[in-house]
Amino acid sequence: MAIRSSEQYRAGLRDGRRVVYRGQRVKDVLEEPELRLAVEHSALCYDLAETRPDLAVDVEGGEKFSAFYHVPRSVEDLTRRGSLIEACAAAGSGTIVLKEVGSDALFALLRATEGEGAEKARAYFDRVRSQDLALAVAQTDVKGDRALPPHRQADPDLYLHVVDEDAESITVRGAKVHTSFSANADEIVVLPTRAMGSEDRDYAVSFAVPVDTPGLTLYVSPYSAGERDSFEFPVSSRHKLLESLTVFDDVRVPRERVFLDRVPELAGPLAIAFVDYHRFTAVNYKLPLLDALVGAAHLIAELNGISRAGHVREKLTSLIAYAETVRGLGQLAALRSRPGDRGVQQPDPLAVNMAKYAFAHGFHDAVAKVMDLAGGLLVTGPGGEDWANPDVRPVLEKYFTAAGPAEERLRVLNLIADLTARDFGGYQAVLATHAEGSLEAEKMQIARSYDPAEAIAYARRLARLDD
Amino acid sequence: MAIRSSEQYRAGLRDGRRVVYRGQRVKDVLEEPELRLAVEHSALCYDLAETRPDLAVDVEGGEKFSAFYHVPRSVEDLTRRGSLIEACAAAGSGTIVLKEVGSDALFALLRATEGEGAEKARAYFDRVRSQDLALAVAQTDVKGDRALPPHRQADPDLYLHVVDEDAESITVRGAKVHTSFSANADEIVVLPTRAMGSEDRDYAVSFAVPVDTPGLTLYVSPYSAGERDSFEFPVSSRHKLLESLTVFDDVRVPRERVFLDRVPELAGPLAIAFVDYHRFTAVNYKLPLLDALVGAAHLIAELNGISRAGHVREKLTSLIAYAETVRGLGQLAALRSRPGDRGVQQPDPLAVNMAKYAFAHGFHDAVAKVMDLAGGLLVTGPGGEDWANPDVRPVLEKYFTAAGPAEERLRVLNLIADLTARDFGGYQAVLATHAEGSLEAEKMQIARSYDPAEAIAYARRLARLDD
Amino acid sequence: MAIRSSEQYRAGLRDGRRVVYRGQRVKDVLEEPELRLAVEHSALCYDLAETRPDLAVDVEGGEKFSAFYHVPRSVEDLTRRGSLIEACAAAGSGTIVLKEVGSDALFALLRATEGEGAEKARAYFDRVRSQDLALAVAQTDVKGDRALPPHRQADPDLYLHVVDEDAESITVRGAKVHTSFSANADEIVVLPTRAMGSEDRDYAVSFAVPVDTPGLTLYVSPYSAGERDSFEFPVSSRHKLLESLTVFDDVRVPRERVFLDRVPELAGPLAIAFVDYHRFTAVNYKLPLLDALVGAAHLIAELNGISRAGHVREKLTSLIAYAETVRGLGQLAALRSRPGDRGVQQPDPLAVNMAKYAFAHGFHDAVAKVMDLAGGLLVTGPGGEDWANPDVRPVLEKYFTAAGPAEERLRVLNLIADLTARDFGGYQAVLATHAEGSLEAEKMQIARSYDPAEAIAYARRLARLDD
Amino acid sequence: MAIRSSEQYRAGLRDGRRVVYRGQRVKDVLEEPELRLAVEHSALCYDLAETRPDLAVDVEGGEKFSAFYHVPRSVEDLTRRGSLIEACAAAGSGTIVLKEVGSDALFALLRATEGEGAEKARAYFDRVRSQDLALAVAQTDVKGDRALPPHRQADPDLYLHVVDEDAESITVRGAKVHTSFSANADEIVVLPTRAMGSEDRDYAVSFAVPVDTPGLTLYVSPYSAGERDSFEFPVSSRHKLLESLTVFDDVRVPRERVFLDRVPELAGPLAIAFVDYHRFTAVNYKLPLLDALVGAAHLIAELNGISRAGHVREKLTSLIAYAETVRGLGQLAALRSRPGDRGVQQPDPLAVNMAKYAFAHGFHDAVAKVMDLAGGLLVTGPGGEDWANPDVRPVLEKYFTAAGPAEERLRVLNLIADLTARDFGGYQAVLATHAEGSLEAEKMQIARSYDPAEAIAYARRLARLDD
């Protein structure tokens, strides 16, 4: 079928998957209103085939495929993928939608697996592309004591590992955290979380399983649970991301779905390959969020009547420089990209990590500046129920008029509150620090991606050391 | 009666006050569960007379008075007030509780009013102290177009003003925003929001009225509405602050309650005097919040097993330096304080504004560091309903064990999430930027409190300009 | 002759130019040892035709031309120019050398003049290129009271202006500051310093004159005067930049050398066009300086034996990220460039200003980090005369050995001291803040180069304002 | 004699001391013009007894003593000492003068030595005080490979150690770096540089010797050598600090001058005790430098005609907040001080390290801001020889007039250049990072001086961990 509609995507989620939400087993994710919201959010990336076919659809041999599954083989491919991700995130009001993460994992598998594993990865990729499946990626293990490697944990299950095998399958046990989209994806791709030594052999495993595989349970986080009024929460009332603790309780995985079967030396390269693509995704999907902050900051400065003050102009410029530095370095990551193993194009790791670092490092300050421009009404203003009440609204209209009408001002304030101050804003702030690798991880990758030899040689020359 | 119990305080709130919450008129704030939570929070400052009589109770002529109403007349008085406010905020889990703000306003009125107004202020102060009343302070006008002074606004009501008068009273119209505690105070003190010129005469007004005064309506903000599970929200399930749009729709104020009656030249001094005390309050009531961040950061670093990493130690030290710089400068504001007009002790304005600026300027970065140490579980972890389910809890206990038990870790993560990432955290972040004066206001006061003459003279000497 | 040797360049400087240095008229800049050092420095850009002909030489119709005068007409042209500038600055130990600035001015004249002026500019360009002349650029007027436009200054000469004219010439009076290379260039190009109104007509003037033109006097700054030992000052003993107050005391300029003759509406565009090219030059010529800092920091950390400490790795990574962000954004300025007027390629103004801002904004912190890694010996260590003394050197060799030999360590320390702590380092720091436009100028250009319309529209959509 | 005049101080320096400067043995430090400048600078602290007897002189039993040697035993004593140091540094144009450092060492010896060593320290202190001697302090060893403790260095002399002993004396070998005032002090006090283990026993030594002791050679750093014009270098033409590599080549020390004789467990406490006092000194002696920056920034903003621009006001306020935060925390270090061992008052270590950290951390940014306000003339302006030339000066007066006369502007620019951009400015910048302990040392002491127990307990309570 090659390309699916969002309706087909939704229908595909009705299976025996075991999902626990707010302490209860959920029978059907389409029937639970909050999980349904997450499904509707992710459905946007299927809708994109209709709304932005120029970016979202590949035509090959007369057949249509999702461009998310277009393996990048050139600077142009990666640049186009960047645009696709940005457009998708724009539809998603500044958040990742769904297919980005699975395709990142597939490119990593195509590039960083070897031998039989690489063949299986290729076959799996072809199936995902031709069926237009939605994949979640479970990478981060629960990790236990972070000072210890997997095989030395008190409980061996604190990293996911192979506990049994037979001719047709391996059996795995353990748990992954921060699994985005798990409950509304078709399948889950498991990747190793880090480099591993020979004693961690059983932990060096990568595979994919359908979400309804026996033994697999998704404990979806209730963060930011509850219904949202659309006046008060213009973004989070329409968009939701879900994350789960993803428990593999002796899950059998057929051998044709195992891409890395206890090969510790490939665990690190595969983990890093994914992270390269995923950070490239990140610096593109964050752009609409940054644009929203820049735009909202300009709007509220205007509506509050302060847009001419020196410190306001300074803050607006600083927000522009922040957003455009992330955009610029992200663009550079594509422009400087080079073919990696098996011809899969690799974003420039230095540029992509600098872009991600610039994003993460500057986010809290940007939020502080936007809050500063917006004012205290972010947390003391009226709500949707007030606005809806015909006796109350005129009072609000009278008293919240400033350099623009009260309604515009309140709606922009609510947008800013949603993006920065309320639960959803906190979610964004934590994501900025931790998603797709922490600040410390990005710093480490910057140091690793940079070869200081030339700079050292130049400094030696200037110091007249090698005269 | 001099000192009231928290039970007496609660009982006093049952009157005809007109409160609108979430679009509905609330008959009794003690019956509305969320407003009740705010009442319980504020009741803590009455309880303090029991739990910390050393700080919270003055004995005078055999009678007990609330130490919140102890007019500071020495360094020791202000230092003790600082300790009282810090202890009260510690009980309030790092937030202001209630009486702080009203007493700040009273000290400002005692110091900065003149003539008949000063006499009325003194009489009012005596009544408040002897009846141990709880006061809210309504200072910030809705302001309309901020580029224009009060009398030039399109709608004259965008700053509160006198619209009529007779022998016994004046009548006022307008609205104040960000009025904390309005719905759970006994009375509301109105202060001017800024310096005013002679054409703004009708706007230069200060008075106090009981909350149930006819014509007064409180539109309480629904920010962070909803019930909270105590496992998931350890702080915000127990504490709530409320803020209102406070509308004066032709409210009659008896003349004995009017402290400033159209005297524009005193509007600025009175506004600033309040802000001096209120920023001193702020830098003291924020200390438990900062201690909570420092303590939680140490705890989670230990529980995550990362406390020995170099970057972790760096972040912990930076948090300590941040919290203790605020504490130190706040302490200095008392130690450097001097008697102001009418003998009311005045916190050193330079130190108090530097302390407040240090707090506000560093808050977002401190939050980012704590989030960094805590990890992504802040927004992807399990909730109270998961924890309560006997089938789910063992899974969580198994997989969230790290360098300490899962329960400790999840509880500390929830504390951090509550303080930094969820609605309540966003509230704290916006408060850091805007409450008790914005960053820009603090910067302006630093510049104004500092006399550069000596530094300029010294530089001239060094430049040999006056040889 | 098309391309000149550095010997020809030196010979060309022997004319009747009026140069004042350290209070004395200098007869021949080649005979004054310190000015001679500046000449030798600038001669490097002529030597480059020998050492890097791939970058520095254009061959056209069998004739060779300096590639500095290659008018950019494509992304590739600008990218190659970036490489040329970087290579030239590498030879110059991280400083601008000479021809960069004149060619920047020529491109601006080609792009932003009109009519007859444009024809003269083209003719002048052809002559400069075919004779391989070295140009200085005098743009910044002394300015007087910065709050006033040119025509309202107390002294009309505080901006350079036309005071007389006849059929063949105009006569100008005024003074320019910060004129780099003036005393060792062949000619001086004068550009307007800012946008001008119709009343500033006489000030809207651009032309070129030979340095020995009557009425022109160069007061060269003595900053960092004095001879330098090459052990102690490895860079500044070999390289010098000179800057002058350039006084035009009724200088007659032949009409064919006048590119802008009292056309105020073109003053701003011409000034900005120059700045675009010149900031592009800046972000490329600064790269070797940044590489030197990064390389020296790695070296000294190793030699001091501290390269494994956490805080040291953090500082090194931060230096890498800083240098590479400037490099990346500079590269992007070429990659995003577009044809400007008359087909002259225009670096992307947003990227070029962000690159320059990133450079300038981060420079002081980078210096502080390098100083931190190097240690106090930067200012307490031994000097060249100590090192040269055979009785003293063994003591130094014994006691300054650390994780590497004393000589390597002292030489690297001296490199760092030269680049950061001594006069030359101070020069670099002031340049970082002010050269090619101040921090504030870059911020202004960032705000101007960015069109917020899309971001605002997106924010409005998210706020549901245009539903 | 108790208190000496500066003339007596100078006379005392004429002895057989072995000083090497710029590769040459110096016979008499009073005859070498540059070292003489350092002597004159230090003589200021003797002159202070005349100019500020209120601060600089103690009268006891009718006799006068230098107040630098007043052992602090109360908050008032430390506060007065802070004022004395600030006044002395004001005379020294923002630099340390001389007696501060020796008295810091004496207080540390009085507090942190034990038994016989303590007695000798007390006797030594009495002699220094009654003879009003000037002491240098040699603490920092050359250290070799910093990853290794003293006894494991390849060359055992890389830390100073005992190599022999007899009944009357011990003999020491090794070298100390960064010894300020060594060549113009009467005696040198040697302190251990760090905590030591039992195998470092021979290195745990403290003593004092006259500067002319045989075997002692001072290799004075030539940093910033050369004469200075007083127009161009208003500060550094009048003030000089000297630092030496201080080599002990089998120096015999009489036993009565040995305060710590191979007692490794006291090495750390003694080192830290000195650092406490010395950082307290630092945060006081830096205040005039900070005042000079604040004052010069105000002056130049005014003279340049930009003092009303928003960004200028922002920068001035930031400079004020920086200087006053250092002053405030330094003051707090005295106000919070407590009696240490043997009743010697101990500055609050948390406050003193926060003050020092605030100073060091903010210095480079403050310099950048002052440079920004001053403009490029800092490094392109005219010099003293230009100003002295009657033909040149009128040109400078004409063209450097701005919102104030050219002379004022040039003198203030030269002051700023001297403090921030020239050699002397680089010296200040390196000192800010390294003197009296590096940034990393201050951070470590902040972490050590802070007991997190209360904050952790509070966080546990809020997290409901101990319910």
C393 lies in some domain: yes
Determine the residue of chain B that is closest to D456 in CA distance. B295
- For B339-355, the pLDDT digits (tens) are 999 999 999 999 999 99
Residue C1's pLDDT is 58
B465 to D411: CB separation less than 8 angstroms, yes or no: yes
Find where tokens 């901020």 sit.
B146
CB contact under 8 A, D311 and A309: no
Tell if the CB–CB gap between A458 and C295 is shorter than 8 Å. Answer: yes
Bridge partner residues of A251 (DSSP): A172
- Whether residue B82 contacts residue B107, with contact meaning beta carbons closer than 8 Å, is answered with no
Q: How far is CA B131 from the centre of its chain?
A: 22
Residue B191, pLDDT score: 98
Residues of C in contact with B314 (CB under 8 A): 310-311, 314
H helix or E strand, kind and range, residue A457: helix A453-462
Of B20, B147, B378, the CB nearest to A430: B378
SS (H, E, C) chain B: CCCCCHHHHHHCCCCCCEEEECCEEECCCCCCHHHHHHHHHHHHHHHHHHHCHHHHEEEECCEEEEHHHCCCCCHHHHHHHHHHHHHHHHHCCCCCCCHHHHHHHHHHHHHHCCHHHHHHHHHHHHHHHHHCCCEEEECCECCCCCCCCHHHCCCHHHCCEEEEECCCEEEEEEEEEEEECHHHCCEEEECCCCCCCHHHHHHCEEEEEECCCCCEEEEECCCCCCCCCCCCCCCCCCCCCCEEEEEEEEEEEEHHHEEEECCHHHHHHHHHHHHHHHHHHHHHHCHHHHHHHHHHHHHHHHHHCCCCCHHHHHHHHHHHHHHHHHHHHHHHHHHCCEECHHHCEECCHHHHHHHHHHHHHHHHHHHHHHHHHHCCHHHHCCCHHHHHCCCCHHHHHHHCCCCCCHHHHHHHHHHHHHHHHCHHHHHHHHHHHHCCCCHHHHHHHHHHHCCCHHHHHHHHHHCCCCC
State the smallest CA–CA distance between residue A310 and chain D in angstroms.
5
Cβ separation of B314 and D443 shorter than 8 Å? Answer: yes
What is the distance in angstroms between the Cα of A150 and the nearest Cα belonging to chain B?
12
The pLDDT tens digits of the residues spanning B93-125 come to 999 999 999 999 999 999 999 999 999 999 999
Residue type, D458: Y
Task: With respect to residue B400, please indicate whether it lies within any of the assigned structural domains.
Answer: yes
Tens of pLDDT along chain A (467 residues)?
A: 589 999 999 999 999 999 999 999 999 999 999 999 999 999 999 999 999 999 999 999 999 999 999 999 999 999 999 999 999 999 999 999 999 999 999 999 999 999 999 999 999 999 999 999 999 999 999 999 998 999 999 999 999 999 999 999 999 999 999 999 999 999 999 999 999 999 999 999 999 999 999 999 999 999 999 989 999 999 999 999 999 999 999 999 999 999 999 999 999 999 999 999 999 999 999 999 999 999 999 999 999 999 999 999 999 999 999 999 999 999 999 999 999 999 999 999 999 999 999 999 999 999 999 999 999 999 999 999 999 999 999 999 999 999 999 999 999 999 999 999 999 999 999 999 999 888 888 999 999 999 999 999 999 999 999 76
pLDDT average, residue stretch B441-453: 94
Using DSSP's 3-state secondary structure scheme, residue D265 falls into helix
Give whole-number Cα distances, B409 to A416, C161, D454, in Å.
Answer: 31, 73, 19
Q: Is residue D231 part of a domain?
A: no
Q: Which residues of chain D have pLDDT under 50?
A: none
Domains contained in chain C, number: 1
Closest CA to C15 of C143, C221, C187, C177: C187
Identify the CATH number of the domain in which residue B272 sits: 1.20.140.10
Is B250 a residue whose pLDDT tops 90?
Answer: yes
How far, in Å, CA of B38 to CA of B240, rounded? 5
Asked if D458 lies within 8 A of B299 by C-beta distance, the reply is no
Chain C residues with beta carbon closer than 8 angstroms to that of D311: 440
Name the residue facing B412 among D230, D414, D463 (closest C-beta): D463
pLDDT for the residue A147: 87
Question: Does ipTM exceed 0.90?
Answer: yes
pLDDT, tens digit, 9 for 90 and up, residues B296-346: 999 999 999 999 999 999 999 999 999 999 999 999 999 999 999 999 999
What was the pLDDT predicted at D437? 86
Residue C188 pLDDT exceeds 80: yes
Q: Which residues of A touch D (CB under 8 A)?
A: 309-311, 313-314
Q: Report yes or no on D121 lying in a domain.
A: no
Nearest CA in chain D to B316: D447
DSSP D55-120: HHEEEETTEEEEGGG----SHHHHHHHHHHHHHHHHHTTSS--SHHHHHHHHHHHHHH--HHHHHH
Task: Check the CA dihedral B89-B93-B95-B101 and report its sign.
Answer: negative
Chain B residues with at least one Cβ partner in C under 8 Å: 309-311, 313-314
- Chains touching C, CB cut-off 8 Å, 3+ pairs: A, B, D
Residue A403 and residue A374: Cα distance in Å, rounded?
13
Rounded CA-CA distance A466/B224 in Å is 66
The residue in chain B having the minimum alpha-carbon distance to the alpha carbon of residue D234 is: B463
Q: Which residues of A touch B157 (CB under 8 A)?
A: 398-399
Nearest to B292 among D329, D411, D458 (CB): D458
* C353 within domain boundaries: yes
Report the predicted TM-score, pTM, of the whole model to 2 decimal places.
Answer: 0.96
Mutation target among B219, B308, B380 for the A interface, most CBs of A within 10 A: B380
Residues in chain D with CB shorter than 8 Å from the CB of B460 are 295, 299
- CA distances from residue B190 to B119, B174, B270, C330, C457 in whole angstroms, order as listed: 17, 11, 11, 56, 40
CB pairs under 8 A between A and C: 168
Per the structure, the complete domain to which residue B441 belongs is given by 267-457
Chain-chain contact of A431 with B157 (C-beta, under 8 angstroms): no
Amino acid at D277: Y
- Per CB-CB distance under 8 Å, the chain B contacts of C313 are 310
- Over residues C74-82, mean pLDDT: 98
Instruction: Evaluate if residue B439 carries a pLDDT over 90.
Output: no
* Residue given tokens 């912990």 in the structure block: B316
Which of D462, D465, D466, D467 is the best mutation test for B, with the most CBs of B within 10 A? Answer: D462
Question: How close A46 gets to chain C, by Cα (Å)?
Answer: 20
Backbone angles phi, psi at C193, to 5 degrees: -95, -10
Q: Is residue C129 part of a domain?
A: no
Identify all chain A residues contacting C325, using CB atoms and an 8 Å cutoff.
325, 329, 354, 358
Q: Name which of C78, C325, C352, C438 to mutate to probe chain A: the one with the most chain A Cβ atoms within 10 A of its Cβ.
A: C325
Closest listed residue to residue A136, CA positions, set A56, A241, A236 = A241
- Residue C437 in this model has a pLDDT that exceeds 90: no
Chain B residues close to D335, C-beta within 8 Å: 332, 335
Which chain C residues have a beta carbon less than 8 Å from that of A464? Answer: 230, 234, 411
pLDDT at D467: 65
| B205 within some domain | no
pLDDT of residue B467 exceeding 70 = no
Residue B431 lies in a domain: yes
Q: What are phi and psi of A282, to 5 degrees?
A: -60, -50
Q: Predicted confidence band at C467 (pLDDT cuts at 50, 70, 90)? A: low
Q: How far apart are CA B324 and CA D446, in angstroms?
A: 10
Residue A220 CA to residue A182 CA, distance in Å, equals: 8
Give me the residues paired with residue A171 across strands.
A164, A252
Cα separation, D273 vs B109, whole angstroms? 49
